[in-house]
Amino acid sequence: MNAKKKLGFIGAGNMAEALARGLVENKVFKTSELIASDVEAARRRKFKGALKIAVTTDNLKVLDSSPAVLFAVKPQTIDAVLTELARAGGGDSNGASRKDGLGSKLFVSIAAGVTLGRLESALGGRARVIRVMPNAPAMVGQGMAALVRGRNATRADEAFALKIFRAVGDAVALKDEALLDTVTALSGSGPAYVYLFAKALADAAAALGLPPELALRMALKTIRGAEENMRRSPMTAAELIRIVASPGGTTEAALKQLGADGFSDIVARGNMDDLLKRISSHNAR
């Protein structure tokens, strides 16, 4: 437990587990270079048993053994964690002095809606902080994350954080923290809209006679194939649509109906306009 680590997790929930697994499986870090704390025994057992990663109930042991700490706790509990670490900033869990308070540590947060200003204020003026918005597909290695570094975080810190989240998918760095609200609406909430679309496709086909399990299988493969084709093709989305929608054909007729029903407007209103207002309101609390 006293061995120096490279990354410590405070909070060992599903996202922390996905990140830890991705880091180990992609050989970014060894299991011996990671440590995690959590109040729930079941989560600690998962890390220790399945992932072979050291665990503790003590957040300060994570702080003392790791140059970088990743906050993977719920937004409603992060204030208690921040207060605990801030109070301990003058000395470690063995009573030894911590040089520069918490300024020598890098803190990475995935707590939704918790701003850089709030994190930096709680951790002290010299804290190096990076805020990240990941998404649920990270749990199957297909995540999309965006991050913004705080005023004291360096380019090396940014590169370190990108390496963590690219172990479970893709990650990009942004300069404007306000854009994380848009990221939340797009990639954070976006998977739920894809699930809804897949369900709607499958339900419609099942209503016309296809066995439900076959309808869902075909819907999922259709979505995956279309995504891969769109990713690999040099053509625009509009050009790809034209290839599928032959003039006078059934696809063209269906697209006209979707247009008449305001499909694109529904996505814009549901995914961006109203959702962004709700996200901004939530973050302002």
> What gap in Å lies between CA 131 and CA 178, rounded to an integer?
11
**Residue segments in the chain with a per-residue pLDDT below the cut of 50:** 1, 90-91, 93, 95-97, 99
3-class SS at 282? helix
Domain ranges of the chain: 7-176, 190-283
For residue 96, the model assigns a pLDDT of 47
Distance CA 265, CA 67 (A): 46
What is 61-93 written as a DSSP string?
A: HHHHH-SEEEE-S-GGGHHHHHHHHHHGGGB-T
Beta strands at 143-149 and 68-71: parallel, antiparallel or unpaired: unpaired
What per-residue confidence (pLDDT) applies to 3?
Answer: 61
Q: Any idea which residue has 């994350």 for tokens?
A: 145
Q: Do domains 7-176 and 190-283 have the same CATH topology?
A: no
What kind of fold does domain 190-283 have according to CATH? ProC C-terminal domain-like fold (1.10.3730)
The predicted-structure confidence for 218-261, as pLDDT tens digits, reads as follows: 999 999 999 999 999 999 999 999 999 989 999 999 999 988 98
Quick one: pLDDT at residue 124? 85
Return the CATH fold of 7-176: Rossmann fold (3.40.50)
Query: What pLDDT sits at residue 1?
Result: 46
Q: Look at the chain and count its residues.
A: 285
The residue type found at 49 is G
Percent of residues, the chain, with pLDDT higher than 90 = 76
Alpha helix (H) ranges present in the chain?
Answer: 14-25, 41-49, 59-65, 78-87, 116-123, 155-166, 179-183, 190-207, 212-232, 237-244, 250-260, 263-268, 274-283
